Amino acid sequence: MSDRDRERLFTSSPAPVVASFEELEAEPIIRREGSLYADAWRQLRRRPMFIISGILIVILAVMAIWPGLFTRADPRACDLADSLLRPSSQHWFGTDVQGCDYYARTIWGARVSITIGVLVTACATLIAVLLGSVAGYYGGIVDTLIARLTDIWFAIPTILGGIVILRSIFSTRGLLQVSLVLIVLGWPTMLRLVRSAVMATKEMDYVDAARALGVRNIRIIRRHILPNAVAPVIVYATITVGVIISAEAALSFLGVGLQLPAISWGLMISVAQNRILTAPHLLLFPGAFLSVTVFSFILMGDALRDALDPRLR
Amino acid sequence: MGRYLIRRLLQFIPVFVGATLLIFIMVWAIPGDPIAALAGDRVLPDQVRQEIRDRYNLDDPLIVQYGKYMGGVFQGDFGDDFRGRPVTDLLGQRLPITVRLALLAFGFEVVLGIIAGILAGVRRGGFVDNLVLISTLVVIAIPIFVLGFLAQLLLGVRFGWFPVSGVQRGLYSYVLPAMVLGSVSLAYIARLTRTSLIENLRADYVRTATAKGLSRRRVVGIHTFRNSMIPVVTFLAIDLGSLMGGAIITETIFNIPGLGRAVFEGVQRQEGTVVVGIVTFLVLVYMVANLLVDVLYAVLDPRIRYE
């Protein structure tokens, strides 16, 4: 599936404001207090989806920052005599071919995934917000140029583009190179989102009022448009973290992402694939951690969308 | 409609040129000499080297190389690989395999996705709805290669229901890879169908139909269903293009000699012509699919045309 479909799916499509008479009667009128975010926060605290994904993300973040809290073992201290041990009380997740403790490696793998996911999303969002607000606010030739540029980018499927760039341009591929490529491939989707949100907000009366008062364009964008256009961006960015983590793992799995001795779930699965019959645990543990990580971010995005999009209430 | 079509077609050209040029530059910007890589340890005589450089236009500026290459593409010539075999041969050999895989995946996701979406949407908040919502979220979250290995390990090896890899057992060997390839799109289709159905069930015309005394079955099955399918149909058309690209991972896991594998092997061996040829072809497929979607959208939903 392409990024555009993902964008279409995870951002809401317009829903009728008033559903039906029954629903109107059934729901008592809620008096809104405070901002959209205070409102959303109040709603979120009660949602099990939000609580579960929030706890998972906090655990994963701690795991990425201080892996030592979870494991004493050194993921790079390996004993070949212990090669391919099954899970036991000594080695909870068993050991890999080199005899490294697989539990330690799996825990340390969180760091790369989370770093890439957050770094790429942050940079792509920044680029998208800068270019997208300019394109959406000013329109005209700048907008046309930026829109055509994103069209060109959209024509290249992410994994395909990733393989070609990573393989042909970089001779060594570390965290920075992989992040760079994912940023390059990731910003256009986000840009479209920002652009359309800015264009919708631009039409608001209070923007006209600000302009009539003589407020400069930069200030209008910063103070009046972006704060009101940012809700769908937050939702999509949360989901993007999960999608990027998945993409990094896929590229590493295909052998064009991170290279050994980096510790990454995608790389671990890639190494494990030749032994799935004799040592399935090598596949299952990093696979499970990877899936849970991606799951938490997507779940979080879903919960945020429900809370931040008043049209769905 | 005619003007809309022409406008879309005109927009198609710069995007196609831009995308293919981008790929061309990325592939040929490889530091290092592809010909040296071809020769391996031996040192090629200068004459041979020059001959090869001339044959693949390697001495021209990149943009001229691109021009010559695209001229060939429009005459159905996607260039030769470094062993002198036309890339179109490779395409002809590998494409049917990927198409078979993609079509099977497509059928799988359409049928199951739409059924699941309707069952969930008709009773919002019910058991089936929650089941569909949670299971689709899980499927979306599990990366496709983890899912592929799991399916291979459980259904292929442990239970022995499906061939584990390769394409020796005819169409049957495509079933499991196709299910894996289609699974994520299936989840998206189910969710999209559900959302769209729920939105449409709130529409005025549904209330009118119910008030007229039509059965629930007819209201949902005829009136609402048709309108709900608009976003789904457009998703399907885009998806057909992206299945081609998504096949890379599935084909690697299940050892299926399709286009995705060919691209991947081409990249590994630094065979620029093969990579550029196939990727150009895939981008073309993808873009035509996108174009069809836009046209289809305008046909299904006349409001789009008058933007």
Task: Give me the residues paired with residue A174 across strands.
Answer: none
Residue B74 pLDDT level (bands cut at 50, 70, 90):
confident
B279 touching A (Cβ < 8 Å) = yes
In DSSP notation, A52-119 reads HHHHHHHHHHHHHH-GGGT--S-TT---GGGTTPPP-SSSTT-B-TT--BHHHHHHHHHHHHHHHHHH
Q: What is the ipTM of this complex?
A: 0.77
Kindly tell me the sign of the dihedral angle through the C-alpha atoms of B122, B124, B126, B130: positive
| Tokens (6 digits) for A115 | 């770093």
What number is the average pLDDT over the span A38-64? 82
B187 touching A (Cβ < 8 Å) = no
Inter-chain touch A168–B16, beta carbons under 8 Å: no
Inter-chain touch B267–A167, beta carbons under 8 Å: yes
In angstroms, rounded to a whole number, what is the distance separating the alpha carbons of residues A302 and B6?
39
Considering only CB atoms, B137 lies closest to which of A4, A5, A299, namely: A299
The per-residue pLDDT for B151 is 83
Fold of A37-312: MetI-like fold (1.10.3720)
Inter-chain touch B22–A156, beta carbons under 8 Å: yes
Domain positions in chain A: 37-312
pTM for this model (two decimals): 0.80
Q: Which of A42-51, B63-72, B96-105 has the highest mean pLDDT?
A: B96-105
Residues of chain A positioned with their CB less than 8 A from the CB of B195: 13
In angstroms, rounded to a whole number, what is the distance separating the alpha carbons of residues A262 and A94?
19
Residues of chain A positioned with their CB less than 8 A from the CB of B121: none
Closest CA of chain B from A219, distance in Å: 31
For residue range A65-81, list pLDDT tens digits in order: 887 777 777 777 777 66
The per-residue pLDDT for B41 is 67
What number is the average pLDDT over the span B290-302? 75
Inter-chain touch A277–B157, beta carbons under 8 Å: yes
Residue A123 pLDDT level (bands cut at 50, 70, 90):
very high
> At residue A101, what are phi and psi to the nearest 5 degrees?
-70, 120
- The one-character DSSP state at A260 is T
| Tokens (6 digits) for A177 | 């190179």
Q: Residues for chain B: how many in total? A: 307
Residues of chain B positioned with their CB less than 8 A from the CB of A8: 231, 235
The per-residue pLDDT for B135 is 87
Kindly tell me the sign of the dihedral angle through the C-alpha atoms of B82, B84, B86, B92: negative
Inter-chain touch A20–B264, beta carbons under 8 Å: no
One-letter amino acid of B124: R
Residue A287 contacts residue B147 (beta carbons within 8 Å) = no
Cis peptide before B61 (omega within 30 of 0): no
**Mutate which: A156, A172, A192, A296, vs B, most B CBs within 10 A:** A156
